[in-house]
Amino acid sequence: MITYKEALEEVLRRATPKFAIKKYLIDAVNLVLAEDIVSSENVPFSDNSAMDGFAVRFEDIKGASKEKPAILDLIGEVPAGKSLSGQISAGEAVSIFTGAVIPEGADTVVEIEVTEVKDGKVYVYEEREIGANIRRKGEDLKAGEIVFSKGTLITPSVVGVLASIGKASVKVFKPLTVAIISTGSELIDIGDKMKVGLVRNSNTYLLEAHLKEIPSLKVLNYGVVSDDISSLEEVFEDASMSADLILSTGGVSLGDYDLVKLVLEKLGFKQVFWKVAQKPGKPLAFYEKNGKVAFGLPGNPAAVHICFLEYVRPYLLKSLGYQKWSPIVLKAKLMDSHSKKKGRLNFLRVFLEEKNGEIWARKAGKQGSGVLSTSARSNAIALIPAEREFVEPGEIVEVHYFSNNGW
């Protein structure tokens, strides 16, 4: 059986961003940059005032106070968007507004609140440091500087910055379309009446919700399909044509009705691997065909949750062009003991907490692959190596934390 590390490597090897397309700025939000963005302009474009007030020479206002104000000649006004022709000389001040260009000769702005104008003179009642209230040319961004690198998610503030440097359109990676299919004749949906022997479908909801957390994806949710080869073939064929990637659940273990692998093979998909030395999620299957891939996830919801985070999510993030696709890897002390059989890596759903400056991972509940409520109560996954049989409380384990800030 292939190991988790080997399987993940096979998955990631096939995850490469494919097409770059040009998008108008606003339509690029939630997509990923496919180019480095270099600013052709300084932001701000020139030194300008951060306040309404008076542009002065520091020399002239040094030591100014309520009792001993600096008294300067008011020689003009610079509204926002304008600059003064001419310059300020000793003993002079110019009335200036936020955003207006600092006149030549001036090196400091005194805000209006500490001044008074009387008979064409400006009285400055407080001293300011040299350079006070001036936004410097290029202080935010410098011309020629890489502002954002390839792989950056375009958030609303990225859009704002792009606008501020005059970028009307940017190259982004094409969003991916993901098909979700749940297989199983025993499955009923949310509104259906429960009876003995039936199982309510949660996997398609779980997966669609997980996918919603990743910007720049489109989802085609095919819902539930029964274990019948012709129905499965029809749905998988449609999905393989309409989507870049198929996520199916169920039908990949050894039982008579486990038909997903058969159907994928009939449609020309080639098996990359099937079965991984891990618990839960052992029957995970991975297929490819002409650059498209299909994940045959197990049916058990907790295995779906874990396989999604450990395999599908990194595949998607890397394929979408994100710089970071891995979870944040931490070391934490396991609060509980854990015993297991040798041979399979165990994924434990845990809750990370800080105690006396240390990170502890507490088992979030029963770890059975059918117990989805434990997933809902967890915030991370601990990895217990295949060769281990017993882990003592307080032992340090590797933990995967799936933060959206990671991209």
Examine residue 300 and tell whether it contacts ligand AMP (CB under 6 A): yes
Examine residue 301 and tell whether it contacts ligand AMP (CB under 6 A): yes
- Residue 230 or residue 356: which is nearer to Mg ion going by CB? 230
Alpha-carbon dihedral of residues 327, 328, 331, 335, nearest 10 degrees? -70
Is residue 236 packed enough to be buried (19+ CB in 10 Å), middle (13-18) or exposed (0-12)?
Answer: buried
- Residue 174 or residue 305: which is nearer to ligand AMP going by CB? 305
CB of 249 to ligand AMP, least distance (A): 5
CA–CA separation, 25 and 30 (whole Å): 11
The CA distances from residue 176 to 15, 69, 90, 173, 216, in Å, are 12, 66, 64, 9, 7
The residue behind tokens 């915030």 is: 379
CB of 252 to Mg ion, least distance (A): 8
Examine residue 187 and tell whether it contacts ligand AMP (CB under 6 A): yes
Examine residue 203 and tell whether it contacts ligand AMP (CB under 6 A): yes
Pairing outcome for strands 176-183 and 245-249: parallel
As given in the structure block, the two tokens for residue 53 are 């007030």
CB of 6 to ligand AMP, least distance (A): 22
Cα-to-chain-centroid distance, residue 353: 23
Examine residue 64 and tell whether it contacts ligand AMP (CB under 6 A): no
Neighbours of 255 (CB within 10 A): 11
CB of 205 to Mg ion, least distance (A): 17
- Residue 44 or residue 250: which is nearer to ligand AMP going by CB? 250
Choose which of 199, 335, 352, 383 interacts with ligand AMP (CB under 6 A): 199
| Contact set for Mg ion, span 244-273 (CB under 5 A) | 250-251
Examine residue 249 and tell whether it contacts ligand AMP (CB under 6 A): yes
Examine residue 301 and tell whether it contacts Mg ion (CB under 5 A): no
Examine residue 182 and tell whether it contacts ligand AMP (CB under 6 A): yes
- Residue 203 or residue 278: which is nearer to Mg ion going by CB? 203
Whether residue 73 contacts residue 92, with contact meaning beta carbons closer than 8 Å, is answered with: yes
Backbone φ and ψ for 245, nearest 5 degrees, come out as -155, 140
CB of 223 to ligand AMP, least distance (A): 9
| DSSP three-state, residue 312 | helix
CB of 226 to Mg ion, least distance (A): 10
| Contact set for Mg ion, span 153-192 (CB under 5 A) | 184
Cα-to-chain-centroid distance, residue 23: 19
Examine residue 378 and tell whether it contacts ligand AMP (CB under 6 A): no
285 contact partners, CB below 8 Å, separation of at least 6: 252, 260, 261, 264, 271, 273, 274, 275, 294, 295, 296
- Residue 53 or residue 283: which is nearer to ligand AMP going by CB? 283
Q: Is 357 left (phi over 0), alpha (psi -120 to 50) or beta?
A: left
Binding partner of residue 182 among ligand AMP, Mg ion, none, CB under 5 to 8 Å per kind?
ligand AMP
Name the residue whose CB lies closest to ligand AMP: 299
CA–CA separation, 308 and 381 (whole Å): 12
| Contact set for Mg ion, span 49-88 (CB under 5 A) | none
Span interacting with Mg ion, options 74-82, 115-123, 170-178, 296-304, rule CB under 5 A: 296-304
Residues found near Mg ion in the complex (CB under 5 A): 184, 250-251, 299
Residues found near ligand AMP in the complex (CB under 6 A): 182, 184, 186-187, 199, 201-203, 249-251, 253, 255, 298-301
